[in-house]
């Protein structure tokens, strides 16, 4: 079965620290966690009675680990996925792209693309040829990136980094 701890190490290597690039549609982020995500699921780390950018700046690797496990790893039921490389790319796609990181893989698997990983989706993942499915995921994610850029050319500046990230899962 896939290991959360090894993926966490990889994620922390892939994600930089604090970023507030105006062209990044995710906005203010720290360790890959956006301000919007932190406001939705975070807490007031500095004790000033609100959840704001000051709290995001105080994120620790332990905070990232808790959010990653609960809202991304567990959402893919990755502890039950038999292939580490497949689990990694599935969870990473969800981390980077939200529901599309479930819906598009479900389409590839030929199951109902409902954005929910239940028994049917999990069974389909574990019954597929892992190496073939992994290649399909890489290719689909690269197409997804190119589609984002085609719809919004301002995102072109992130192309090389996004592609390098996906290629790091080969």
Residue 135's pLDDT is what?
A: 98
Q: What pLDDT, on the 0 to 100 scale, is given for residue 16?
A: 81
- Whole-number pLDDT of residue 72: 97
Segments of the chain scoring below 50 in pLDDT: none
pLDDT of residue 26: 84
pLDDT of 73 = 98
Helix (H), strand (E) at residue 34: strand 33-34
Q: What is the pLDDT of residue 94?
A: 97
Q: What is the pTM of this model?
A: 0.93
Q: Which two tokens stand for residue 27?
A: 């906005």
Per-residue pLDDT at 156: 95
Residue with tokens 């069974």, as numbered in its chain: 123
pLDDT at res. 42:
78
Can you tell me the distance from the alpha carbon of 78 to that of 24, in angstroms, rounded to the nearest whole number? 28
108 touches 133 (CB < 8 A) = yes
CA 163 – CA 44 distance, rounded (Å)? 34
Reply yes or no on domain 4-167 having CATH 3.40.1380.20.
no
Instruction: Look at residue 24 in the predicted model and tell me its pLDDT.
Output: 87
Residue among 108, 97, 112 nearest 148 (CA): 97
The two three-digit tokens of residue 153, written as one number: 């050319």
Bridge partners, 67 (sequence order): none
Q: Tell me phi and psi for residue 144, to 5 degrees.
A: -60, -45
Q: Which two tokens stand for residue 45?
A: 């780390």
pLDDT of the residue at 22? 86
Rounded Cα distance between 120 and 100, Å, is: 18
């Amino acid at each position: 079965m896939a290991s959360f701890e090894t993926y966490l190490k990889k994620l922390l290597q892939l994600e930089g620290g604090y970023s507030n690039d105006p062209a990044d549609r995710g906005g203010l982020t720290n360790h890959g966690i956006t301000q919007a995500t932190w406001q939705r699921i975070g807490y007031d780390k500095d004790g000033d009675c609100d959840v704001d950018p000051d709290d995001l700046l105080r994120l620790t690797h332990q905070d990232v680990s808790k959010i990653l496990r609960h809202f991304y790893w567990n959402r893919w039921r990755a502890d039950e996925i038999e292939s580490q490389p497949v689990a990694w790319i599935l969870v990473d796609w969800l981390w980077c792209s939200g529901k599309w990181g479930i819906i598009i893989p479900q389409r590839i698997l030929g199951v109902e693309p409902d954005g929910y990983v239940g028994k049917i989706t999990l069974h389909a993942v574990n019954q597929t040829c892992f190496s073939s499915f992994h290649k399909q995921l890489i290719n689909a994610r690269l197409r997804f990136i190119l589609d984002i850029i085609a719809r919004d050319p301002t995102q072109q500046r992130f192309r090389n980094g996004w592609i390098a990230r996906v290629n790091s899962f080969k």
